[in-house]
Chain A
């Protein structure tokens, strides 16, 4: 067990010692600032107030840091988060093969399963670290620019419209972050799977993003509403359910069982592909 933890620690060291790992963190800081700046513009605020006023609520009370943080999450994390996760997960195995360091690893008496396992775990840690970072920094930036106040959770496509006071809103927001991480884990799993196949790191990233974008497009077509649950991104939206007044835990559980099953399948397929591969310079 100690050896496994050492190997896992080593894998994290390799991952977090590389500059490109931090691109996502840096990019999100920038995006959050831009989004919050734009959301605080008079014209934009008026649009948000209009939505609230038309529903009979006092807009000013809910134009808070929590609402800004929620907006940052819903509009940026899914697309941009997917990009950075695909970039890192698509690299995790294939880059080592491309650089020749995988052959050095495979000189050691270690099983291929162990190598894949520690790499997969490091990818999971990265996914949650990125999502956690985004969640915390979006909230802090939101609170700095918007102050405390109620949460206005609005996502038309998911038919979500909910208002909470600061306390309950913060609890909902905090519950949503780990679930968002769990949702985005599927992107990392896809990237990881392609990374284990004989292809360049860039190809693994592009394939992952292609699948994600195609799925997003298909999910958005209104005529496919009746088969919505077939799409990965529809299942991945399960985190938004925690903002509903009555949290549908059954639906959330079902969605995450599906996603975790897909993640486990992708990992297994990646491992089988890695196991079969020949490594030659």
Chain B
């Protein structure tokens, strides 16, 4: 569905995005993670043809965004972190104007989408009286018009209240389940990404540092928490057994290491082992581990 092929971008001589390649398959929900300035928005901008890459190309539906923008984006919808509209026009008129850029507006489809995002009662009000949450819904509505197969969501839950976040999450899952949409989203809300995404890519200072199914990656790194009466001593023993100490009480095991053997070694050294449990990484832990943040 989407193929990013070695795109890079620099601003005033500074490389903001190192050559990046990614693939997103049909029906997937793909998350793009990174700090501010990591290159997420630059990637989205290049994918939509709003930014010209220094190198590389983005392919959508087998068409190059850089060379055949209209064809490549024919079935793509997108929203931004801070969507902007014509404040002096109604939400409905905004939708009509934006849709008319690529298709004859179908009133029935417009009504359907407005109902889907829950804006029916306020759609004829001027956008200047809309709250941030309503603007986000309106942005999502325009992304869903006329009939996209692939949607790009740049920080879709930014600035929403907890209820709004939950609602947006439901809408995204509904779009995939009911309409079979492929979705790529960027978010700072790691819990959101954890609940929504099948695969992720992590960008750090413009470089891709991880791409794939983080749950599988997490399983390959076996981690255990040990509760013992003398951690410094236990750490020495675990290190001698080939483990890597991640932090106090937590060790990363080598693939061939037997957990029972480690507990036995600790007991043999007269340490009291109150607990030894395998640890599952949350996406937040996984992200910070890869992005190198505390």
Contact = CB atoms under 8 A, between A and B. Distances in A.
Are both chains from one complex?
yes
Interface of A: 2-3, 6-7, 10, 13-14, 17-19, 99-101, 103-111, 114-115, 276, 278-281
Given A13-B97, A17-B88, A280-B50, A110 B82 contact: no
B50 A18 contact: no
A3 B88 contact: no
Given A101-B85, A105-B98, A278 B52 contact: yes
Contacts of A115: 101
26 contacts: A2-B104, A3-B100, A3-B103, A6-B100, A13-B93, A13-B97, A14-B89, A17-B89, A101-B84, A101-B85, A104-B85, A104-B139, A105-B98, A107-B77, A107-B80, A107-B98, A107-B142, A108-B99, A110-B70, A111-B69, A278-B50, A279-B51, A280-B41, A280-B42, A281-B41, A281-B82
A109 B78 CA distance: 11
Contacts of A276: 52
Interface string B127-162: 000000000000100110000000000000000000
B96 A104 contact: no
B84 A7 contact: no
Contact of A109 (B76, B84, B143): B76
Nearest to A9: B100
A122 B81 CA distance: 30
Given A6-B100, A7-B101, A107 B52 contact: no
Nearest to B77: A107
Interface in B26-81: 41-42, 45, 48-52, 69-74, 76-81
A278 B9 CA distance: 11
Contacts of B100: 3, 6-7, 10
- Secondary structure at chain A's binding surface: helix, strand, loop or mixed? helix
Interface of B: 41-42, 45, 48-52, 69-74, 76-86, 88-89, 93, 96-105, 139, 142-143
Contacts of A6: 100, 104-105
Contacts of B70: 109-111
A278 B12 CA distance: 12
A14 B86 contact: yes
A7 B98 CA distance: 9
A147 B279 CA distance: 95
Contacts of B143: 107
Given A109-B69, A278-B52, A3 B45 contact: no
Contacts of B98: 104-105, 107-108
B137 to A, nearest CB: 14
Nearest to A110: B101
B88 A18 contact: yes
A270 B48 CA distance: 21
A104 B83 contact: yes
Contacts of A7: 100-101
A279 B50 contact: yes
Contacts of B41: 280-281
Nearest to A275: B52
A99 B77 contact: no
A106 B51 CA distance: 10
Contacts of A103: 50, 80, 84
Contact of B73 (A2, A100, A101, A109): A109
B89 A281 contact: no
A141 to B, nearest CB: 30
Contact of B97 (A14, A111, A114, A280): A14
Nearest to A100: B84
Contacts of B93: 13
A279 B80 CA distance: 13
B220 to A, nearest CB: 37
A100 B82 contact: yes
B102 A109 contact: yes
Contacts of B52: 276, 278
Given A280-B50, A281-B82, 16 more contacts: A2-B104, A3-B104, A6-B105, A10-B101, A13-B89, A103-B84, A104-B83, A104-B85, A104-B142, A105-B98, A106-B48, A108-B102, A109-B102, A110-B70, A110-B101, A281-B81
B154 to A, nearest CB: 9
B142 A110 contact: no
B270 to A, nearest CB: 61
B128 to A, nearest CB: 12
Contacts of A13: 89, 93, 97
B51 A278 contact: yes
Contacts of A279: 45, 50-51
A19 B126 CA distance: 15
